[in-house]
A = this chain, B = another copy of it.
Amino acid sequence: MLLAEKSTERDWKSIIAQLTAVIGKKGIIQRRDELITYECDGLTSYRQRPALVILPKTTEQVAAAVKICDENNVAWIARGAGTGLSGGALPVENCVLIVTALMNQILKVDLENQRVVVQPGVINNWVTQAVSGGGFYYAPDPSSQIICSIGGNIAENSGGVHCLKYGVTTNHVLGLKIVIPSGEIIDIGGEIAEMPGYDLTGLFVGSEGTLGIATEVTLKILKTPESICVLLADFESVEAAGSAVSGIISAGIIPAGIEMMDNFSINAVEDVVATKCYPRDAAAILLVEIDGSAVEVATNQASIAAICRENGARSIDIATEPEQRLRLWKGRKAAFAAMGKISPDYYVQDGVIPRTQLSYVLQEIARLGKKYGYYVANVFHAGDGNLHPLILYDNSKAGALEQVEALGGEILKLCVKVGGSISGEHGIGADKRCYMSEMFTETDLETMQWVRTVFNPKELANPGKILPTPRTCGESANSGHKFPSIEQY
């Protein structure tokens, strides 16, 4: 309200002049046709054109730009590579989008202390490339790792195939330089894990750009394992595959990752990329990656194969050489793209359930899919119970998106009902904030809002994301946050 009332005070001409003085003319995008790219992130079903895009290169430029936004009551949103799936980087009307694409420098590589310092626009995979020669790698590996940025990973606390063993992004961030919405620069965390005081780094990771923008990131890197092996097992029922997953974990083995694909996904993948590795008649396959010392991998591989067989696996394929491993992974890696080929559109959900509920929840998802009349494919991180139901639909059909969102919502509520969560690794963003009250009480959410207000008192940094305002679902992802129009000047 306060902001809306101030609209007449806002002078875009002057704002643009100030931003140009800081960033330079080349770092500012204002043309309508060039702004189209920035209307959405990976959640393409919501779109909103920003007023401006700026492309800073340094912390100081970001700080100065944020200060200008603060002084002029302009909303701003940080955006990395724009691959996020929950609309975390969805613009609001008349906002400034701060794109980190040109903040792409690896600032320091310190192999001895197993850490690197990077700018937020550095692509996830570049970190591993920068240190692999020295025998190290960066563990969090979202499917989009060849295109997604470290800054975006931090905003959404991204996971990946290997987070079963190695944890998600927050477990790999040592320190951050951040610009808070007042335009001040602060350092949180540090170069080592044991930092005293409040764990503001942990608070910031996963805060989806609502507490500030990271401009320098200190990441932990890990020693490349001596040996890696991938095991593919196929099952005649989803229950059998689920019970093999429980069996592996109960045996005290922690593979790097355990992925599951259901029959629908297997066939979609074979139709499109023809890996010829995945049996088309399998109800489900498991892909288990094991890493560690050669002897440890060999032992775990034998134990896992035995557990799969005990649980009814029909066949087991094992790959140790890089090329063979890639062959087994190929279908899994191509799964989302395959869905895009066999269906005009798909909607990915991201819920978490306790592993023990796997087979019940998959049955319920199938039942809900039938009820709504949509195919739901399941390709997911089975080891940590992180489901990714893919709902196939055609966005050109009137009302389809609304139905699909309703189905997705029922799936999320199901996850919560069995003791799980509405997000494993994609974040809440604009997409799922209305489900937050399924998991948290009013008081819990108010506490989160308090913390947000400390950093972001005017709600200028990524307004409306994460927390449910308005509190009910069914309203537009942008509703509740109207900023005065740039057309006014």
Contact = CB atoms under 8 A, between A and B. Distances in A.
A447 B295 contact: no
Given A194-B384, A196-B422, A419-B192, A112 B356 contact: yes
Contacts of A432: 196
Interface string A195-217: 11111101101110000000000
A296 interface: yes
Nearest to A435: B196
A240 B300 CA distance: 34
A194 B423 contact: yes
B451 A198 contact: yes
Interface stretch (A318-326, A337-345, A437-445, A470-478): A437-445
Interface stretch (A32-40, A44-52, A180-188): A180-188
A421 interface: yes
A190 interface: yes
Interface in A50-93: none
Contact of A197 (B185, B224, B436): B436
User: What is the interface residue range for chain A against chain B?
Assistant: 35 or more
A451 to B, nearest CB: 6
Contacts of A364: none
Nearest to A114: B249
A2 interface: no
Contacts of A207: 198
Contact of A184 (B203, B354, B443): B443
A352 B192 contact: yes
Considering the complex of A and B, which 5 residue pairs feature the smallest CB-CB distances, nearest first?
A202-B202, A223-B252, A296-B296, A196-B423, A194-B352
Give the residue among A180, A197, A252, A425 with the most B Cβ atoms within 10 A: A197
A395 interface: no
Contact of A186 (B112, B355, B443, B454): B443
A191 interface: yes
Main secondary structure, interface of A, reads loop
A70 to B, nearest CB: 15
A424 interface: yes
Identical chains bound together, number? 2
Contacts of A466: 196-198
Give the residue among A196, A296, A385 with the most B Cβ atoms within 10 A: A196
Interface string A140-184: 000000000000000000010000000010110000000010001
B421 A194 contact: yes
Nearest to A225: B252
Contacts of A427: 196
A231 interface: no
Interface in A324-356: 352, 354-356
Contact of A299 (B180, B293, B452): B293
A428 interface: yes
10 contacts: A135-B252, A188-B444, A194-B424, A196-B466, A197-B436, A295-B295, A295-B296, A295-B299, A451-B451, A453-B454
A289 B440 CA distance: 41
A130 interface: no
Give the residue among A188, A198, A420, A448 with the most B Cβ atoms within 10 A: A198
A12 to B, nearest CB: 30
A450 interface: yes
A386 interface: yes
A381 to B, nearest CB: 10
B448 A198 contact: yes
A226 interface: yes
Contacts of A352: 192, 194
A192 B421 contact: yes
A27 interface: no
